[in-house]
Structure 1
Amino acid sequence: MKPLRLLLTALLCAAPFSAAHADSPGDYVPETDPLVVRKLEQWQDWKFGFMMHWGPYSQWGVVESWSICSEDVEWCKRPEGEAYVDYVKRYEQLPTTFNPVKFDPERWADIAKDAGTKYVVFTTKHHDGFNMYDTRQSDYRITAPNVPFHTNPRADITKEVFNAFRAEGFGIGAYFSKPDWNNDNYWSPRWATPNRHNNYDTRKHPEMWKRFVDFTHAQVGELTTQYGPVDILWLDGGWVRPTRNEASKDAAGVAWPQDIDMPAMTAMARKNQPGLIVVDRAVGGRYENYRTPEQKIPDEPLPYPWETCMTLGDSWSYTPNDNYKSSRSVVQMLVDVVAKGGNYLLNVGPDANGELPPVAVERLKEIGAWMKVNGEAIYASRSVAPYRDGKFRYTRLKDGTVYAIYLPDAKETKLPATLRIPGPAPAAGAEVKLLGSDATLTWRRDGDITVVEVPATLRKQTVNAYAWAIRLPGAVTSN
């Protein structure tokens, strides 16, 4: 992934962007396979996901693979005074010291479950081409003889992660980088590697590109046949696409296509995993089953399935002393995303020993405490007009229940004594309640406003919540 290094210090300070494209070109193409459609519905019910960027690079605390990419951008920086070629050679030796002896995927799964997340997306291979699973296509893998961890009974890390999370009822997502900077048929040693793209014209050397395509298909075949049920194939590296790559603000494009034959690869993967969601992110077209705005939240609901992917800290992978977002800001962003019809995928990078950073674990625990009380307003919900109004965000369930979720300001510790909730009206005679309490609240309609009175005792009992959810049974569900 491209680390934007955005520090979100307040709710929704994410940069605005085009709702029509959400980082992808062209119009969204709806899926027609009924098994995939059904899986997408299930995925939309999960709402809250857990992501991990992890690999040998975690030993250095650098930005995933990006420091070996020869581009003059912030996230590709290397130490001053060291030649690029020398740095890459040192980087490529990182697997020989990678020995995460404290790797405990069951603990990861417990932490993620306690946080209220319902699906996991794990980096099986990042752009540097190091495989966190037992691939037979490359020696650059966690189970290779020169990797100290290869003798560990849990050396096939992807298998262990998937099994541990699957045992806790999680949906399983395999992050997979389409570009592979370690593969000689992507970054050929015959030429320099000026940027993130493959370093030769695929039109002049079609045989070389075909070898890379075959390699990629074989790896996806392994992941979809040898690692149990997989729900999501989450493909990164959107510059690998069938059309030519135009120049962008991040890096010069290339004049040739990088077509990895998504139709054949998807057909093969879905033969192995019927109903598999395929996310060819930032490419658009029929193989991007949902779109993935990165490190940002749309201003308005999007007319297709989507997922904001965002870091808990500033970095996707482990960085010592990372700056972690507050639990309050994460909860409020989750609410805002869900109210607009999206999913929220929250990333934490394990350290070199295989442990989740203590500060991140504490944040996840705090988020989970809020979700235990308010999760019914999040899971299996869909958007409902007006989506947001002032401090309120709205979600709806299929039975007609609407939740108005109040997002307090930073210094606002108690729910107001009187709530004036615009929009959907509870059914006549409905019992309006605050989640976490059995008390029935007094309410009335005042024009288009639902006026709810909150007793002082209840305001005191729910002090310092990150957000408060009010259940409005039988409310209007059209949007």
Structure 2
Amino acid sequence: MRVPLLLLIATLAWLGSPVPRLDAATPAAETADAKAERMQWWADARFGLFLHWGLYAVPAGEWKGKRDYGEWIMEEADIPKAEYERFASRFDPKKYDPDAWARAARAAGMKYVVITSKHHEGFAMWDTQGTDYNIARRTPYGKGVLAPLADAVRRQGLHFGVYYSIMDWHDPSQRGNKPNVLNPTLIDPAQKARYVRDMKTELKELVQQTGAEILWFDGEWVDWWTREDAEDMVAYLRGLKPDLIINNRVFNSRGGMGGISAEGMPGDFHTPEQEVPAAGLGAGEYWESCITMNRHWGYNRHDQAWKSDRELIRMLVDVASKGGNLLLNIGPTADGELPAPALQRLDAIGRWMQVNGEAIYGTQSTALAQAPAWGRITRKPAGDGQPERLYLHVFDWPTDGVLRLPLAGKVAEAVLLAEPGVALRAETSGGELHLQLPPKAPDADASVIRLTLAQEH
């Protein structure tokens, strides 16, 4: 589609004009050590819950006979704003129990929860002064859902974060001009300053009302959102809360679904989507794979393509073995329930984590060039009076009863986490460790052996 000349001139003029900034103290430059300290709880957590909840839960994936929609249904089904707004009158999550959600996350072994405060549809899930298009003013439910969840999550000893979309299909500044699916809106240049002010109003509310510890941005790929805008937003948010953790989607620098930004880009951590990197990113680099339990982020009643317990447990192990976090997604229903198949999988992961959680939390990747054929390895370095420990996550139990690992150092102890009172025989020969295992794996999905390495004197 050709751009009208007057609009093109206005757009070029707007690109060169500054956006008014709201007052917020600009924090001092952060050292690597200071960032490591700020990120410590997040890096130790390794496992979090993602929740995609909004008006898109009402049609539940179906529109005019098609059944494969999710949270993008407004754009993908080309639903006009006025028609889409009617979903609000049907959004009444009377079954919403934030304490039950928080308990489910904790029981699964998760350490933090991130929920959509406002997705691309532009509907806010709290009572905000930034827009009247929100759950408190437009739905029969008549109140926000974020602060109650934040409180419930903290009662369970977990951390809380919010997702926020930079792109907003509902806002009058943005129109449904679709040059391609990845840039479906074109902002009205004259309204950008107002829109950014509203964003800051909403984000300030989220930080202050929910105590959000993570701000998980998305929709950053629109061509009107510049690096200057992103850096200003980060400085503004750091002025509100210096220890806030912000993902790399605050600016369009992540290189597609792979989610990895170049050095020096705004944000604290990389965000691979629906995939796990082939290898870790190295020391000082933080990353989190966000992955759905089935095929959709938002609730789709027809989507029964659930990943198995085994696939999810091994995915968590794979991510941790490469030094990353797993943010596992569930799309709640419009009634306010977590789908039963999702809860069943959380329960299975939780049972595994009760036995093997120490092999996930606070672990790091190893120096091995590639993962062993039989599974994965996580590591806890020596420190605080503790020796170095390796955790061998065995997916494929050896048929000959011997697990082999290229390791020249001496082993002080080798035990299965499922049977900690029984020591395994460990022998080193030719730079290779041989572990004598019982004939049957204690866990069919992933059995974990803890190796405590002998300390050198």
- Give the TM-score range, shorter chain: 0.7 to 0.9
The residue aligned with 1:385 is: 367
3-state SS, counterpart of residue 345 of structure 1: strand
Shift of 1:327: 0.6
> Which residue number corresponds to residue 166 of structure 1?
154
CA shift at 1:31, angstroms? 6.0
How many Å apart are 1:465 and its aligned residue? 2.6
Q: How does 1:47-446 map to 2 (within 5 A)?
A: 47-62=46-61, 63-69=69-75, 76=76, 78=77, 84=78, 87-144=80-137, 146-150=138-142, 155-187=143-175, 192=177, 197=183, 199-200=185-186, 205=189, 207-228=190-211, 230-240=212-222, 245=223, 258=226, 261-281=229-249, 282-283=252-253, 284=261, 285-303=264-282, 304-322=285-303, 323-386=305-368, 388-399=371-382, 400-408=388-396, 416=399, 418-425=401-408, 427-428=410-411, 430-437=412-419, 438-446=421-429
Give the C-alpha shift of residue 270 in structure 1. 1.7
Alpha carbons 1:35, 1:275 under 8 Å: kept: no
Report the TM-score, using the length of structure 2 for normalisation.
Answer: 0.82
Whether the 8 Å contact between 2:177 and 2:186 is mirrored in structure 1 is: no
Describe the shift of the 1:88–1:138 C-alpha distance in structure 2 as closer, same or farther (beyond 3 A): closer
Instruction: Provide, for residues 323-369 of structure 1, a one-character-per-residue CA deviation record: whole Å limited to 9, x for no partner.
Output: 11001011111111111111111001111111111111111101110
Structure 2 CA distance for partners of 1:426 and 1:377, relative to 1, 3 Å: farther
Distance 1:465 1:392, change over 3 A: same
Q: Which is worse superposed, 432-441 or 447-456?
A: 447-456
**Which amino acid counterpart does residue 335 of structure 2 have in structure 1?**
N
Per the normalisation by structure 1, the TM-score is 0.78
Does the CA-based 8 Å contact 1:124-1:174 persist in structure 2? Answer: yes
Does the CA-based 8 Å contact 2:173-2:187 persist in structure 1?
Answer: no
Asked if structure 1 preserves the Cα contact closer than 8 Å seen for 2:309 and 2:345, the reply is yes
Cα offset, 1:225, TM superposition: 1.6
- Secondary structure of 2:196's counterpart equals helix
Contact conserved, 1:392 with 1:405, CA < 8 A, in 2? yes
Tell me the secondary structure at the aligned position of residue 372 of structure 1: helix
SS at match of 1:439: strand
Matches of 1:136 and 1:239 in 2, distance apart?
Answer: 25
Distance in 2 between residues matched to 1:260 and 1:316, nearest whole Å = 30
Q: CA deviation at 1:34?
A: 5.5
Amino acid at match of 2:162: A
**Secondary structure at the residue paired with 1:473?**
strand
Tell me how far 1:263 sits from its aligned partner: 2.5
Q: Which runs of 5+ in 1 are unaligned?
A: 1-29, 70-75, 79-83, 246-255, 409-413
| Alpha-carbon distance, 1:176 to partner | 0.5
Give the SS at the match of 1:421: strand
Q: 1:431 to 1:416 in 2, by over 3 A?
A: farther
Q: Contact 1:176–1:234 (CA<8 Å) still a contact in 2?
A: yes
Q: Residues of 2 paired with 1:475 and 1:392: CA distance?
A: 23
Distance 1:404 1:199, change over 3 A: closer
In the alignment, the residues of structure 1 paired with residue 454 and residue 311 of structure 2 have an alpha-carbon distance, to the nearest angstrom, of 28
Q: Name which of structure 1's ranges 109-118 and 464-473 shifts more when overlaid on structure 2.
A: 464-473
Paired position in structure 2 for 1:454:
437
Write the distance in 2 (CA, Å) between the matches of 1:161 and 1:310. Answer: 21
In 2 relative to 1, CA 358–452 (structure 1 residues): closer, same or farther, beyond 3 Å? Answer: same
| Structure 2, unpaired ranges of 5+ | 1-28, 62-68, 254-260, 383-387
TM-aligned CA distance change 1:199 to 1:470, over 3 Å: closer
Distance 1:378 1:448 in 2: 26
Match of 2:7 in 1: none
Query: What's 2:448 paired with?
Result: 469
Contact 2:38 2:243 in 1 (8 A): yes
Q: Deviations over 1:52-82 (max 9, x none)?
A: 101121121124442222xxxxxx2x3xxxx
Cα deviation code 1:88-137 (max 9, x no counterpart)? 43222111110010000100111111111111111011000000111111
Select between 91-100 and 280-289 the one with higher mean Cα deviation: 280-289
Q: Secondary structure at the match of 1:129?
A: coil
Contact 1:38 1:275 in 2 (8 A): no
Identity among equivalent pairs (%): 36
C-alpha spacing 1:95/1:465, structure 2 compared with 1 (3 Å):
same
In structure 2, relative to structure 1, the CA distance for the partners of 1:186 and 1:475 (3 Å cut) is farther
C-alpha distance in 2, partners of 1:186/1:476? 62
RMSD of aligned Cα (Å)? 2.4
Q: Measure how far apart 1:390 and its partner are.
A: 0.8
**DSSP-derived class of the 1:226 partner:** helix
SS of equivalent to 1:388: coil
- Cα contact 1:404–1:421 (8 A) shared by 2: no
Alignment of 1:31-46 (within 5 A): 32=31, 35-46=34-45
| Aligned-pair CA distance for 1:208 | 1.5
Given the superposition, is the C-alpha separation of residues 434 and 31 from structure 1 closer, same or farther in structure 2, using an over 3 Å criterion?
Answer: farther
Shift of the 278–395 alpha-carbon distance from structure 1 to 2, 3 Å rule, reads: same
Alpha-carbon distance between aligned partners in 2 of 1:439 and 1:225, rounded to the nearest angstrom = 50
User: Which stretches of structure 1, 4 residues or longer, exceed 6 Å deviation after superposition?
Assistant: none
Tell me: CA distance 1:426–1:392, structure 2 relative to 1, closer, same or farther (3 Å). Answer: farther
CA distance in 1, matches of 2:94, 2:135: 13
